[in-house]
Structure 1
Amino acid sequence: MEGVTVGAVTPEDLAAELDRVGYLPDAGVATAAFLAWRMSRPLFCEGEPGTGKTSLALALARALDLPLIRLQCHEGIDAAQALYDWDFPRQVLHLRALEAAGPVDVERAEASLYTRRFLLARPLLRALEEAPCVLLVDEVDRADDEFEAFLLEVLGENSVTIPELGVVTARTPPLVVLTSNRTREVHDALKRRCLYHWLEHPDLAREVAILKRRLPGVDDRLANQVASAVRRLRELELIKPPGVAEALDWAQALVTLGRTELDAETAAATLGAVLKYREDAQRALSAGVLGAPPGSTIGG
């Protein structure tokens, strides 16, 4: 990708760069990200919440020394919110200023309203203009079918036509990362345009490594106990199974309390750091995941 000086010539090199900025990828994630970067293809990341999809885009921007532009999708998002809009209040003020200055030529006045000074660039237009960059299209599964089709067209051509100004084309394609929590199925047409990767929760050893990297003061034993407990919680049928972010919050809460071991009493008292629904906390307690005898520790 033009303008990028990072010497990542293999997936292992990119993994090392991601590691350097605090993101510990497995081989599959590193390979998918490397191919998306080198092939100038969008990377579609799907998986449960908390598996590091958004964090991957943030880390890629840091590792490749590129600006990050984020488009947060939501129900009802449309092209104006994602691409561009016109600054209506400033256009009105401009017209009033023209009228105050004297007789107004209607055609010239109308043409002066649709110039770059009144254009509000939204994330997609900014990404096309500012590339090379990392464009994060977050939670695309929250958008509707119409927006998906629009997004497919923009990503496919890396350009967009603004009727009043002309065609805007990216000098080099942005590195696009789309994420989905699979609240609904995204259409095959969009997936076919992308490289695809399903992100799993990290294995025990990698989650321990993440905890130790992000929380340098955490005790080795405590990191292992938290990661083990979180893995057991994920095996329950919870409304929202904990992700890596919740594991980090839990470990940080324990460090803040000065704990070096995760005992059952402390685990129950700090459960709000890792489970965010009352029903999930009740299910964890009733399932005996945290039900070790008082004074005992969890996860060895």
Structure 2
Amino acid sequence: MTDSAPTSSALPATIPETIEDALAMLERGNYVADRALATTLYLSLRMGRPLFLEGEAGTGKTEIAKVLSAVLDRPLVRLQCYEGLDVASAVYEWNYARQMIEIRLAEAQGSVDREKLAGDVFSEQFMIARPLLQALQPGPEGRMPVLLIDELDRTDEPFEAYLLEVLSDFQITIPEVGTRKAPEPPIVIVTSNRTREIHDALKRRCLYHWVGYPDAKRELEIVMRKVPGCDRRLAQQIVAFIQELRQVDLFKLPGIAETLDWTQALTYLNAMSLDPATIDDTLGVILKYQDDIARMQGSEAAGILRKVQAELAGVGV
């Protein structure tokens, strides 16, 4: 969660030496984390092991990689996963246009040593590095990147198996040119929304943390940090409503991202407090399926609001 993360030039480029340092590092990146997450992140950085973050969409998993890139002053290399992702898109591919030009030039010069030419055109100068290969090389300042493998659950099992060498040995074997190994391990963050189970072989190569929905206190702190212009009383109502909404059996529960979007939307609407009409009009900000919206509109949402108002009145809000 780095909407207002500080510039990297003013920040140290060393990994934290204690759990408290890890918490402070996330704090500098404007990320509100609990101690369990900071502990797992600290161990991942100190041990040089990939960090596997699993949880519902919108709970802040991807943002952790962005924060690490900013506060540690390292380039961020992001591999956005999708169904059908292959080696050419994720690792490397050959620059076929340049290869054809090289072949034509060699033919124009007369005699061609086919074996030598084949070796020349399948050398690294004709290779286009994609995210996984890029992440094994130091950035412009000489620092190893932060590699974000985002939403791994969207890919298929063969690609997942391909990652085992990368995540265990931080190297990639390319048939034409050999093995390329990172001079030192990059920081690796792997995320999954758990639309399918990831194989144990991959999980064993990582440290694991489940990123769940925050409690009301932490979610309120996130809202006040990310939408600083929001009235605190309105923010308390929003957080309490979202917390109650997550107890309903919906197709897709709202994450922290939806809480922030709703807060910002209500701020744009100059809302001073929640009311049934405003909730009904803006449910599309926090719910993304029509069946969920239809279920909550009207009496359901109004009932949650009454409960929230009574609870907040009981604690003097």
TM normalised by structure 2 equals 0.87
**Aligned equivalent of 2:187, options 164, 171, 175:** 175
Partner residue in 1 for 2:3 = none
- 1:128-152 Cα offsets, whole Å, 9 max, x none, are 1136221111111122221121111
Partner residue in 2 for 1:274 = 286
Structure 2 CA distance for partners of 1:103 and 1:40, relative to 1, 3 Å = same
**Aligned equivalent of 2:135, options 120, 127, 133:** 127
Partner residue in 1 for 2:224 = 212
Partner residue in 2 for 1:136 = 148
Trace 1:75-154 onto structure 2 (pairs within 5 A).
75-130=83-138, 132-154=144-166
**Aligned equivalent of 1:21, options 22, 29, 40:** 29
Q: 2:175 and 2:266 mapped to 1: Cα distance? A: 57
Q: Which amino acid in structure 1 is aligned with residue 295 of structure 2?
A: R
Trace 1:1-300 onto structure 2 (pairs within 5 A).
5-6=13-14, 8-130=16-138, 132-285=144-297, 288-291=300-303, 300=312
Query: C-alpha displacement at 1:181, in angstroms?
Result: 1.1
Structure 1 residues without counterparts, runs of 5 or longer: none
Query: C-alpha displacement at 1:31, in angstroms?
Result: 0.7
Q: Is the 8 A contact 2:56 2:211 kept in 1?
A: yes
TM normalised by structure 1 equals 0.92
Q: Is the 8 A contact 2:276 2:301 kept in 1?
A: no
Query: C-alpha displacement at 1:107, in angstroms?
Result: 2.6
Q: 2:39 and 2:100 mapped to 1: Cα distance? A: 51
Query: C-alpha displacement at 1:212, in angstroms?
Result: 0.9
Secondary structure in 2 matching 1:120: strand
Q: Is the 8 A contact 1:73 1:139 kept in 2?
A: yes
- 1:177-200 Cα offsets, whole Å, 9 max, x none, are 111111111111111111111111
Partner residue in 1 for 2:7 = none
Secondary structure in 1 matching 2:31: coil
Q: 2:240 and 2:164 mapped to 1: Cα distance? A: 41
- 1:46-94 Cα offsets, whole Å, 9 max, x none, are 1111111111111122122211111112222223322111111221233
- 1:186-236 Cα offsets, whole Å, 9 max, x none, are 111111111111111011111111111111101101111111111122111
Q: Is the 8 A contact 2:241 2:304 kept in 1?
A: no
Q: Is the 8 A contact 2:15 2:45 kept in 1?
A: no
Instruction: Among all aligned residue pairs of Structure 1 and Structure 2, give the percentage whose two residues are the same amino acid.
Output: 48
Q: Which amino acid in structure 2 is aligned with residue 154 of structure 1?
A: V
Q: Is the 8 A contact 1:158 1:169 kept in 2?
A: yes
Q: Which amino acid in structure 1 is aligned with residue 288 of structure 2?
A: K
Structure 2 CA distance for partners of 1:62 and 1:293, relative to 1, 3 Å = closer
Q: Which moved more, 1:7-16 or 1:208-217?
A: 7-16
Q: 1:51 and 1:299 mapped to 2: Cα distance? A: 25
Secondary structure in 2 matching 1:270: helix
Q: Which amino acid in structure 1 is aligned with residue 70 of structure 2?
A: R
Q: Which amino acid in structure 1 is aligned with residue 57 of structure 2?
A: P
Query: C-alpha displacement at 1:6, in angstroms?
Result: 3.1
Q: Is the 8 A contact 2:53 2:211 kept in 1?
A: yes
Q: Which moved more, 1:164-173 or 1:202-211?
A: 164-173
Structure 2 CA distance for partners of 1:293 and 1:199, relative to 1, 3 Å = closer
Q: 1:268 and 1:72 mapped to 2: Cα distance? A: 34
RMSD over aligned CA atoms reads: 2.1
